[in-house]
Amino acid sequence: MKCILLCAGYATRLFPLTENFPKALLEVGGRPLLDYIVDEVNSLDEVDQIYLVTNDKYTPHFEKWAQEKNNVKPITVFNDKTTTNDNRLGAIGDIEFTIKNANIDDDTLIIAGDNLFTFKLRDFVDFQKANNSSAICVKPEKYETLKRLGVVETDENMKIVGFEEKPAEPKGKYAASAVYLYPREVMPIFEQYIKEGNNADAPGNFVAYLYTHKPVYAYAFDGIWYDVGTHEALAEVNELYNKNK
């Protein structure tokens, strides 16, 4: 199994903090945010390689971090060569870029580099294996909160039967997080998705496409999940993690 960490966004909502420094390396509780994610990935025996995809602006920061971290699982940093928020590839574009450049032909765990969570990836991987299909982590949320998020509808077996980004009237009760696990046979579908001219930005768009072609299951986790995209969210997770220390 391979792991792709998505770190190529420009985090404009966190300016000036991220104007010249990547969001995923901002400190939370005295450690780079990304360290918490990598700790969890390291707990998975199946993962033998971590690929981190970023932009031209942030590449030196991630290369320095990876070198100093000297992680137990090798980390390769890919530069997608984009330079601004306007010419970015988008998250799905970056996944396809990494699959192609790393010649990935394995099951692949994909995580957005600005996600903080307290559930165990081991449980998620076991869930995916039990269903022998693509899987996404989801969390029950209040109706009003769901209107701001990607919303997943499921049947009684947690198979996805609907997906909608920021719906005015949510039909499901689960919010999609940016933690995914795709079997190796799904890897070529990313290129197909891009070639068809689909939206390459939010990774949830690929889930919305994939569930109409192949089974995708939703893993409802217990625990905390944050998308650290704003100054308020950063302050909140720092307070939480500093308190827990």
Which residues are CB-contacts of 62 (< 8 A; sequence separation ≥ 6)?
Answer: 7, 22, 24, 25, 52, 54, 77
Res 244 pLDDT > 80: no
CB proximity list for 230: less than 8 A, separation 6 or greater: 13, 14
CATH number at residue 14: 3.90.550.10
In a domain, 173, yes or no: no
Q: Is residue 151 part of a domain?
A: no
Distance, CA of 112 to CA of 5 (rounded, Å): 6
| The pLDDT of residue 90 is above 80 | yes
Which residue range forms the structural domain that includes residue 58? 2-135+178-244
pLDDT score of 206:
96
Q: Which of 103-112, 129-138, 168-177, 229-238 has the lowest mean pLDDT?
A: 229-238
Least confident of 64-68, 197-201, 232-236, 241-245: 241-245
200 pLDDT exceeds 70? Answer: yes
Q: What is the mean pLDDT of residues 219-245?
A: 86
**Residue 160 domain flag:** no
Q: At what angle do helices 91-101 and 187-195 cross, to 10 degrees?
A: 130
Residue 118 placed within a domain: yes
Number of domain units in the chain: 1
Helix ranges (H only) for the chain are 33-42, 59-69, 91-101, 121-131, 143-146, 187-195, 204-210, 231-244
Q: Is the pLDDT reported for residue 63 higher than 80?
A: yes
DSSP letter, residue 60: H
> Mean pLDDT across the stretch 212-228?
92
Mean pLDDT over residues 90-95, rounded? Answer: 97
- Do the bridges between strand 134-140 and strand 225-227 make them parallel or antiparallel, or are there none, so unpaired? unpaired
Is 83 inside any structural domain? yes
What Å distances lie between residue 244 and 87, 118, 124, 202, CA to CA? 39, 12, 24, 31
Q: How far apart are CA 136 and CA 181, in angstroms?
A: 6
**Domain assignment of residue 158, yes or no:** no
pLDDT tens by residue, 158-192: 999 999 988 999 999 999 999 999 999 999 999 99
pLDDT per residue over 3-29, tens digit each? 999 999 999 889 999 999 999 999 999
Helix 33-42, helix 59-69: angle, nearest 10? 50
* 70 exposure class (CB count in 10 Å sphere: 0-12, 13-18, 19+): exposed
pTM of the model: 0.95
pLDDT for residue 219:
98
153 in any annotated domain: no
Looking at the chain, the whole-number percentage of residues with pLDDT higher than 90 is: 87
64-78, 83-97, 229-243 — which is least confidently predicted? 229-243
Residue showing tokens 């997906």 = 163
Q: Give residue 207's pLDDT.
A: 96
Smallest CA-to-CA distance from 109 within 63, 56, 59, 49 is with: 49
A 10 A CB-CB count for 107 gives 21
CB atoms within 10 A of CB 188: 12
- In a domain? residue 48: yes
Which tokens sit at 109?
A: 């765990």
Mean pLDDT of the chain: 95
